[in-house]
A and B are shown apart, each in its own frame.
Chain A
Amino acid sequence: MLCVLNEECGADNFYLPMIAIYTLWLRQLKRYFRSKSRIIGSLGQPVLFLVALGFGFGPIFQRAGQGNYIQFLAPGVIAMSILFTSVFSGIEIIWDRQFGFLKETLVAPVSRFEIMLGRTLGGATVGVLQGIIVFFLSFIIGFRVVNWSLLPLAFVFMILIALLFTALGTGIASLLQDMTGFQLIMNFIVMPIFFLSGSLFPPNGLPSALDLVVKIDPLAYGVDGLHGTLGQMAQFGLATDFWVLSVIVVIFIAIGSYLFSRIQV
């Protein structure tokens, strides 16, 4: 007997959505592990940042009395690689939308929310994996964890950053028809989020307008959380970082699923 619908399977209603979410999560991971060139390619940028900026600005940073720049930079670069990987995982929907798997999933007996959640969790997992790889790479450059007992908490922050920006990518991709708006998104959303997050420079003593921008940049709280758990002190405080990120994650997932539910193919 082939079991297609709930009645025939006898599975309860909680279990079924889990299958769909798991299926789409697994798909994102399989795609990630299969494209070795993508993994290696996307590690180039963080390594370049760590090496070029880390050693380049290191002496100036030291002379300014701020201490070791690599110690400061590494958490920011980890956050950056999670940001990029996650946003792109979300934006992948544009590709899938017209050809690939998206139509196939949209006609399956699965709700849009399950699809969005499965994809977001998958994209976020890929983002976290990428962050962990950069974390280890930063050791080679000379980064040292100050307090190992806070490492699990750092992991929590990585997950929050990844979820937040995968959901953002999904939301943006749901609004776009094709890749022509891609540069726009890079230059007006992703890059500002990165540069104004305090990942490259400590966000103190900034002009008040810029200071405000930093404060409304969600990544700033992620970077701050990573600073607090991996290296130096957190500026906003870890509790603030955690709650701000968590609330924004919930909001972005809500907005992302709303926009995703309106996609027409």
Chain B
Amino acid sequence: MAEHIIETKNLVKKFGDFVAVDSISFSVEKGTVFAFLGPNGAGKTTTIKMLTTLLAPTSGMILLNGYDPQKRQHDARASFGIVFQDPSLDDELTAYENMDMHGMLYHVNAKDRKERIKQLLEFVELWDRKDSPVKQFSGGMKRRLEIARGFMHKPKILFLDEPTVGLDPQTRNHIWTYLRKLNQEEGLTVFLTTHHMEEAERVSDHIAIIDHGKIIASGSPEALKAKTNTTTLEDAFLALTGSSIRHEEVSSADALRSQRRMWRR
């Protein structure tokens, strides 16, 4: 039987009266690429936050690499790497320093850090830019650096929250090539969310579609297409979630993002 590296049961998250995640249960097999898809505001990011120890669930169970993310935070955290929707690099520091700090925070010793940084930066083709401050990097370079960084402490699971937003097809292609390589060579489990359906269709072994806080369908891309009698995942997705446009409240992050742009000018 396949080993489940992520498992949730009846997972619920309420914000006041609003039920963001409504009793979802799913499991992710070790070494697979799992895509978590859904319209805006469906509960994807909330679920990722609960899986990655940032939010405490209202009720339900999570096991991440065998650990409860709330009870054994440090063990759970050491098991995964994450690439957030927004860049979470320190712009003032160089690529090398960002990697090094990450390694230090995850208690990777100095010798391993050195080797690993070189290996990973070469892997994402940023070694020649290792001493440039991150603020000089393009969006795609930052993403590549974040993926390399997320992998610095050899996590068993890599979470990717919309990792390819705003990237050109070349960069996207590159990133998926790296990820698939890591997935195959190191048995990495990838948990991703994305709005690019063709991308999800191409890279993932298993897909779960969430809408209004509930998982409404799950299975391989082929199974989902067969189930809905469609030829592309995009059509399958629309068939399952409907075509009405969702409203998502502007978060303070969005507001702050525009403010920061103003300050930089």
Contacts and interface: CB of A to CB of B under 8 A. Distances in A.
- The finding on whether chains A and B are genuine partners in a shared complex, rather than unrelated, reads yes
A19 B257 contact: no
A98 B257 contact: yes
Interface residues of A, number: 38
Contact of A100 (B89, B102, B105): B89
B131 interface: no
A12 B52 CA distance: 26
A103 interface: yes
A179 interface: yes
B107 A98 contact: no
A4 B107 contact: yes
B93 A4 contact: no
Contact of A103 (B88, B154, B257): B88
A105 B106 CA distance: 10
Interface stretch (B72-80, B173-181, B226-234, B236-244): B72-80
Interface in B212-255: 252-253, 255
Given A2-B154, A4-B107, A16-B107, A100 B88 contact: yes
Contact of A109 (B55, B77, B109): B77
A16 B108 CA distance: 11
Interface string A1-34: 0111110010100001001101100110011001
Contacts of A23: 101, 104-105
B92 A5 contact: no
A67 to B, nearest CB: 43
Contacts of B53: 107
Secondary structure of the A side of the interface? helix
A108 interface: yes
A243 interface: no
A98 B256 contact: yes
Given A99-B260, A109-B74, A5 B154 contact: no
A173 to B, nearest CB: 13
Given A2-B154, A20-B105, A99 B257 contact: yes
Nearest to A19: B104
A9 B109 contact: yes
A2 B108 contact: yes
Interface in B160-179: none
A107 B101 CA distance: 13
A110 interface: yes
B264 to A, nearest CB: 11
Nearest to A264: B55
Contacts of B259: 178-179
Given A11-B107, A30-B93, A110-B105, A98 B253 contact: yes
Contact of B106 (A94, A101, A108): A108
B205 interface: no
A136 interface: no
A4 B86 contact: no
B125 interface: no
Interface string A84-103: 00000000001100111111
A178 B256 contact: yes
A31 B112 contact: no
Given A2-B108, A19-B107, A20-B105, A108 B86 contact: no
Nearest to B253: A98
B84 interface: yes
A189 interface: no
* Nearest 9 Cβ contacts at the A-B interface: A108-B105, A109-B74, A98-B253, A109-B77, A177-B252, A23-B104, A104-B88, A109-B78, A178-B256
26 contacts: A5-B107, A9-B107, A9-B109, A16-B107, A20-B105, A22-B104, A27-B101, A30-B92, A30-B97, A31-B90, A34-B92, A35-B92, A98-B252, A99-B87, A100-B89, A100-B91, A104-B88, A107-B53, A107-B77, A108-B102, A109-B107, A110-B74, A177-B252, A178-B252, A264-B54, A265-B49
